[in-house]
Structure 1
Amino acid sequence: MKAILAAALVGMSGIPFMAPVPVVAQQLFELGAYRLQQGTVIPVGSLNSETPEYFYPDTVYPLEVAVTQSIYDSQGRLVIPAGSRIHGQMEPAPGGSRFVGTSIVIGGRTYSLRASSNIIHDEKDPRQYSGEAIVADAAIGAAAGAVLGALTGGVSVGNVLGGAVAGVVVGNVTAPQVVVLRPGQSFNLTLEAPLNL
């Protein structure tokens, strides 16, 4: 009997000792440990901190945004840290566009997400009525006024100035509608389904 026991102990000596995994460590990676309810609001903003982003409201654009404020669950636990990235797209909506989020990256892991923003209203493209654009429109209008005056028998200051004013007005009126996300601008996403992490 002693010989059998000794042989068993010698045979087990080649098996490495496995310490039990602490319960705390197991809980950190337990899926389904965190849940945000449908209707939770997540503030987000553009990743571009220096220049505006422009979107034509009749077109779909892929877009990545950043969470601007940490989100906590009903028990006060941090679920979505500020700076987390949400992937989705800008989609046409009446009066502008809407951002629809489809996934979120937290701590290097990607989770499915169903969230959308309210309508981000379109506006006349500010690039078309910036100072440079107005000067260009006025110059084109003034040249047209001068040409028209020459064709009708005489170039006058009135023709040139009238053409310049008309050029500015036409440039402003014909500017396309765009949705603009400006640096530092924030908008809210609302969860359309619970988010389990």
Structure 2
Amino acid sequence: MSISHSWQPKTALLLALGMTSTAILGISASARAVSEPYTIGQVFSQSEERYDQIENSLVVIPAGAVIPVQYEEAERIIVTPEETAPATLTVAANIRSSSRELLIPAGSKIEGELQPAEDGTQFVAQELILDDRDRSIPVDATSEVITETRTITKETNPDILKGAAIGSVAATVIAEIFGEIDFLEVLGGAGLGAITEVLLQGSEEAEVTVIDPNTELDLTLQSDLSL
């Protein structure tokens, strides 16, 4: 899979309100922008009494729905194909029902890990932290698998590393090629940081995965998400 592809609109199939209220629905979006919210269908209730209890009802976003995300800490992420690295993504657009109820506000955080998967690297979400509520929700969602890799050698332009978030394993092998690497910030305690200085030296090479997190990490729910 090319890592240069742009985000494409996708569809979802079902939204449930509570245990008994369901509706057929679709997701629509015109562009990646907070001002252009995702729309997730119309919610129907089987009774007025049930509708009156909406605040206490369980809203379910169905498996297969897509959550657009971005990564605010760096322009790109670099890891080795075998590496597991923590990362926190940000929901890029408001997600609403077709009745305009806000389900997931833009700016909400999704914590998880970049993990090896199917001869590539994949983001696996673990927790959704809603921006407008003081609580977090377990979430089962993954990005597509990024399979394209790049070989880093001493001839590689080190500018590719500047402004990147680099996994601790990738940083170690890259340091063997380029020498000293100064980190502006280390994230997650396990080694995602921003490169500020690279001193060239060495002669080895390293295979890495270079990820554009703003186009390649949109998340697809693998199971229903209860809000």
* TM-score with structure 2 setting the length: 0.50
Deviation at 1:67, TM superposition (A): 1.1
Q: Larger C-alpha radius of gyration, 1 or 2?
A: 1
Deviation at 1:62, TM superposition (A): 1.5
Alignment of 1:1-197 (within 5 A): 28=55, 30=56, 32=58, 34-49=59-74, 51-73=75-97, 75-106=99-130, 107=132, 108-125=134-151, 129-131=155-157, 175-182=205-212, 184-197=214-227
Structure number having the greater helix percentage: 1
Distance 2:122 2:136 in 1: 22
Deviation at 1:53, TM superposition (A): 2.2
State the match for 1:152 in structure 2: none
Deviation at 1:128, TM superposition (A): 5.1
What amino acid is the match of 2:70? G
Deviation at 1:75, TM superposition (A): 4.4
Cα contact 2:68–2:218 (8 A) shared by 1: yes
Cα contact 2:152–2:207 (8 A) shared by 1: no
Distance 1:85 1:123 in 2: 27
Q: How far does the alpha carbon of each residue in 1:118-159 deviate from its partner, in whole angstroms, 9 at most, with x for none?
A: 1023421557543359xxxxxxxxxxxxxxxxxxxxxxxxxx
Over the matched positions of the two proteins, sequence identity in percent amounts to: 28
Cα contact 2:144–2:216 (8 A) shared by 1: no
Deviation at 1:27, TM superposition (A): 5.5
More relative contact order, 1 or 2 (CA 8 Å, 6+ apart): 1
Distance 1:71 1:186 in 2: 19
Structure 1 runs not aligned, ≥5 long? 1-25, 134-170
Structure 2 runs not aligned, ≥5 long? 1-52, 160-202
Cα contact 2:94–2:106 (8 A) shared by 1: yes
Number of residue pairs the alignment of both structures matches: 133
* TM-score with structure 1 setting the length: 0.56
Cα contact 1:57–1:122 (8 A) shared by 2: no
Match of 1:120, SS state, is coil
For the aligned residue pairs, the C-alpha RMSD in angstroms reads 3.1
Distance 1:66 1:128 in 2: 34
